[in-house]
Copies of this chain bind each other. A is one copy, B any other.
Amino acid sequence: MSGKARRNGNGDAVTMSDIARHAGVSPMTVSRALSDPSTVSDKMRRKVEAAVRHYGYLPNRIAGSLSSKRSNVVGLIVPSFRNSLYASMIQAISDVLRANGFHLMIANSGHSLDDEEAAVSAFLAQRVCGLVLHNTTHTKQLRELVRRTGVPVIETGNLPAEPLDMAVSYSNFEAARAMTAHLGRLGYRKIGFVTLPLADNDRSRERRRGYFAALKDMGLPVDPGLVLEAAGGGFAEGAGAVVRLVQTHPKLDAAFFAGDVLAMGALLECQRRGWRVPKRIAIASFDDLDLLHHSVPAVTTLRIPREAIGRRSAELLVNRLLGAQPERLRIDLGFEIVQRDST
């Protein structure tokens, strides 16, 4: 190692030329031996590999990206990390990317469209090769940015009418409508709806729209008083909501919660108050938190294929990055109603 200053704690790194020199080949041969070994003779390759091992050479992907104008980092933006429903999607994306030699950069928008835009800007400055956005409504600036740079983008979390590029999701509207209709079919007639915060959140609004649509389909009265907006998505909010609904509408026979934690909070509150579920009130949920399956009673819910969505998103992105033709896609992975004991 030379005596050069080591700013930034980064020891003087071994470079490709160092390896080339010590292996007695040109840098280009080293480059090829590492990135596409089949284009190099066995003898050369072995010399390179030996030198690489000996010096513990780590290729500098920064330099590689600059030179090749290609990066292998995908940017993912989720509204928040705290919600477990993002976790299985992230896991799936991460797995697929890694299997294909890509890496994942991640940021959260805090449910703010402006923060989403800022994160996209920052990612684009890092020259990510692709983006996954858990959101389908964006600022004008963001749409412009994506259009101009031409990065492949996956939108998810909802099915947009006009995707920026590729969309992989399920329909919040259809899912909420289906569950509400399911409750109707089971004979429930006065069905409350507890929504997650609606501001800047198309997913929430679509779910509420689906609820209303189903009521109309069934010829049931649409009573806005039966709709409550929970301030957050926590257990306490679910508990508070079910109490308020039941107390203001004694004839309420079912409640549909737009989030799994809300539903669980409500169920626990019913337990505490001795309200029998589903006898006194039926409870249905959106999203299949594992817990809903193990609770007493187990909770009827909408199973969203979060993992498949993540996997498919990453696969589409990888294919595109590996050369697939650009193509505007809108893939609906659907949902499933899981009938259990709470309804």
Q: Which residues of A contact B (CB under 8 A)?
A: 6-11, 13, 56, 58-63, 65-66, 69-71, 73, 80-84, 87-88, 90-91, 94, 98, 103-108, 121-127, 129, 144-145, 148-152, 234-236, 239, 261, 264-265, 268, 271-272, 290-291, 293-296, 320-321, 326
Contacts and interface: CB of A to CB of B under 8 A. Distances in A.
Contact of A7 (B10, B56, B62, B69): B69
14 contacts: A56-B145, A58-B124, A61-B125, A62-B62, A63-B66, A81-B87, A91-B108, A94-B106, A106-B106, A235-B290, A239-B294, A265-B294, A268-B294, A268-B296
A251 B117 CA distance: 60
A305 to B, nearest CB: 16
Contacts of A126: 61-62, 73, 103
Which 3 pairs show the lowest CB-CB distances between chains A and B? Answer: A235-B294, A9-B150, A81-B91
Given A235-B290, A236-B294, A122 B103 contact: yes
Contacts of A150: 6, 9-11
Nearest to A265: B294
A106 B108 contact: no
Contact of A61 (B13, B127, B239): B127
Contacts of A272: 296
A192 to B, nearest CB: 20
Q: Is the interface of A mostly helix, strand, loop or mixed?
A: helix
B56 A148 contact: yes
Contacts of A271: 296
Contacts of A290: 234-235, 261
B291 A291 contact: yes
A290 B70 CA distance: 43
Contact of A235 (B235, B236, B291): B291
Nearest to A151: B9
A92 B131 CA distance: 22
Contact of A10 (B104, B149, B239): B149
A274 to B, nearest CB: 11
Given A87-B82, A103-B107, A108-B94, A62 B71 contact: yes
B294 A11 contact: no
Nearest to A1: B148
Contacts of A94: 81, 106-108
A242 to B, nearest CB: 13
A316 to B, nearest CB: 13
Nearest to A321: B8
Contacts of A82: 84, 87-88, 91
Given A58-B121, A126-B61, A104 B103 contact: no
Contacts of A236: 294
A65 B239 CA distance: 50
A278 B92 CA distance: 39
B107 A106 contact: no
A30 to B, nearest CB: 14
A265 B295 CA distance: 9
Nearest to A105: B105
Nearest to A56: B148
A117 to B, nearest CB: 12
